[in-house]
Structure 1
């Protein structure tokens, strides 16, 4: 029997046994990673599709094989990431295909007295396929997780600038921790956006949880206050600690035009006409 015929028959054999081989991989993975049993049914379908691709690859050209594995890797990599499977668990799975299909290949080659060159060619196809699958699966998996991490960071970052309405006319932005360039820009953006949306008359920036500010942050505060005034919102600053006051003085930053108060309570009372403003 010619090598081409042996390749074709082996291709059909692997595809025919795709469900059985996929189940064998599933059992091995569940044994190694019991936590994966909850998503076994979802993974079983993808594994069966992959086994069929391995089978088809023995009668396809290099370009078509890579195209098929790339399409599978994109779909399966993304899906496995959404199932919360770990990349380590999934990558440790691919050698199982090499072992299981390799044993089937060895038996098939012996039965058909395949030449050493022919066996090497078939084994080389399988090894190449394993490498391609590993690559094409990993890329979308990593991209998906990177996007999720980015979205989580952005959501957490926005939570670091919480504009809180405390009445129909007053909104407060209580800041805690260091204010870097990115956070200062976000503070300006969110303060204007929320003030306009809430239609408040007063905006209070509370710095009692901020250890220190620099010239750039001070400039952003000035810019914020000027911008708020342009949309008809009166801004006040509260909670300036002694360290911040000392920094303001040392840097020569002029806060005289900004209404500042020692506490949030004092600023609110002033708005209600119960106290007078105190500036730095």
Structure 2
């Protein structure tokens, strides 16, 4: 009797008929996971026993596309609920061992029906499929986590560029901490977008909280101010620290043609709020 993954309906029938025994053996193989099955079900609505059956059927039926799609979905689910990866690895390896034990039982019931060539072919196909599932699962898990981290990073970056409207046409951008070239790029993107969205006529950039700014970033900052001007918005700089001004002078940087400079944010706000009140009357 020649057995292959493509034509062996008897193998599927055997596994279906021995489903309860298979699950019992699987739970004994995956000791750490077995005690967490209900927790995982509650945390992510993931039925490990049902998913084990699905995986086994995809493997023995050689359904590669379905197997890969299933692995991707599993990877996303585990990443979404931050489930422990070591549990997944232990579970899948336990499925592999349990499947082979039942293949051995199947072979004995059929009086050692596997020819040597058939056995090697079967071993190759089954293990390749299980490995394919694991690789796809971990890639899917990793990609989801990477995208999540990137999105969170972008959110934090944009939150670190808070453009605060103080009237219908004036807004304040208080900058704090170290400004590097990457952060300056975020500032430029946020500034130009918000000028357009809020229809700003004046943007007050308060630098009193800036601790340091690299030499090349000073040039980038000039580009930001140029962009503000090109958007038809007036730039006002406040709170320049002495050490930052010294560095600008040394580099020959001057923003006078692109922005007004004022001493403090408080004085500047008072000026523009008074102007807005005059306009209202």
Same fold flag (TM > 0.5)? yes
| TM-score, length of structure 1 as denominator length | 0.80
In structure 1, what is the equivalent of residue 40 of structure 2?
Answer: 36
Q: 2:89 aligns with which of 71, 88, 91?
A: 91
Partners in 2 of 1:167 and 1:140 — Cα distance? 46
Question: What count of residue pairs does the alignment treat as equivalent?
Answer: 266
Hey, what does 1:138 align to over in structure 2? 138
Deviation at 1:15, TM superposition (A): 4.0
Question: Residue in 2 aligned with 1:180?
Answer: 180
Aligned position for 1:109:
107
Q: How big is the shift at 1:121?
A: 4.5
Are residues 206 and 22 of structure 1, via their aligned partners in 2, closer, same or farther at CA, if it must alter by over 3 Å?
Answer: farther
Q: Is the 1:215–1:253 Cα contact (8 Å) retained in structure 2?
A: no
Indicate the residue corresponding to 1:13 in structure 2.
Answer: 14
Q: Deviations along 1:154-176, whole A, 9 cap, x unmatched?
A: 22222221111123332111111
Question: What's the TM-score once normalised by structure 2's chain length?
Answer: 0.80
Contact 1:26 1:40 in 2 (8 A): no
1:82 deviates by 2.8
Identify which of 51, 56, 76 aligns with 2:56. Answer: 51
2:181/2:220 contact within 8 Å kept = no
Q: Tell me how far apart the structure 2 counterparts of residues 172 and 25 of structure 1 sit (CA, whole Å).
A: 62
For 1:56 and 1:214, the matched residues in 2 are separated by: 61
Quote the Cα distance in structure 2 between the aligned partners of 1:23 and 1:141: 28
Post-superposition Cα deviations, 1:51-86, rounded to whole Å, max 9, x if no partner, equal 2223424xxxxxxx4334223223332333334324
The residue number in structure 1 matching 2:223 is 223
Unpaired runs of 5+ residues, structure 2, are 276-281
**Deviation per residue, 1:162-208 (Å, 9 max, x gap):** 11112333211111122222221221221122123223332111111
Deviation at residue 46 of structure 1 after TM alignment: 2.8
Q: Which residue of 1 aligns with 2:158?
A: 158
Q: Is the 8 A contact 1:175 1:209 kept in 2?
A: yes
Correspondence for 1:3: 2
Quote the RMSD (CA, aligned, Å): 3.0
Aligned pair in 2 of structure 1 residues 23, 170: CA closer, same or farther (>3 Å)? Answer: farther
Instruction: Report the equivalent of 2:266.
Output: 265
Could you list the per-position Cα deviations for residues 81-115 of structure 1 after superposition, in whole angstroms to 9, with x for gaps in the alignment? 33432433322221111222122122222222215
Change (3 A) 1:264 1:34: farther
Contact 1:179 1:213 in 2 (8 A): yes
Higher relative contact order (CA 8 A, sep 6+): 2
- Tell me the CA shift for residue 235 of structure 1: 1.4
Q: Are the structure 2 counterparts of residues 239 and 34 from structure 1 closer, same or farther at C-alpha, using a change threshold of 3 Å?
A: farther
SS in 1 for 2:188: helix
Contact 1:18/1:51 (8 A) holds in 2 = no
Partner deviation per Cα, 1:224-260 (whole Å, 9 max, x = no partner): 3343334442211112112111111221222444422
Deviation at 1:132, TM superposition (A): 2.0
For residues 16 and 39 of structure 1, the distance between their equivalents in structure 2, rounded to whole angstroms, comes to 30
Residue 61 of structure 1 corresponds to which residue in structure 2? none
